[in-house]
Amino acid sequence: MDAATSPAWRDHAVCEGLDDLFFDDACTDAAKRVCAACPVRNACLDHALRRPERHGVWGGATVEERQQILRRRHH
């Protein structure tokens, strides 16, 4: 994501520069631990739910967990 399209919250994301951790299924638990300490976790999750992001851990949630959240919102 380039600076022109990057949401402002990303400037405060703890995960900045750790992309490999968030897009490797073997690292899901570690990625979630990083998210748990992140001050912009909710904004990140909201971003992933609105896009929707189809890969990786965003806002502490996997693709499957985000799909569950969206299904609950629509029912």
Binding residues for [4Fe-4S] cluster: 15, 35, 38, 44
Q: Whose CA is closest to 35, among 5, 65, 71, 6?
A: 65
Which residues are annotated as part of the binding site?
Answer: 15, 35, 38, 44
DSSP lists the bridge partners of residue 49 as none
24: left (phi over 0), alpha (psi -120 to 50) or beta: beta
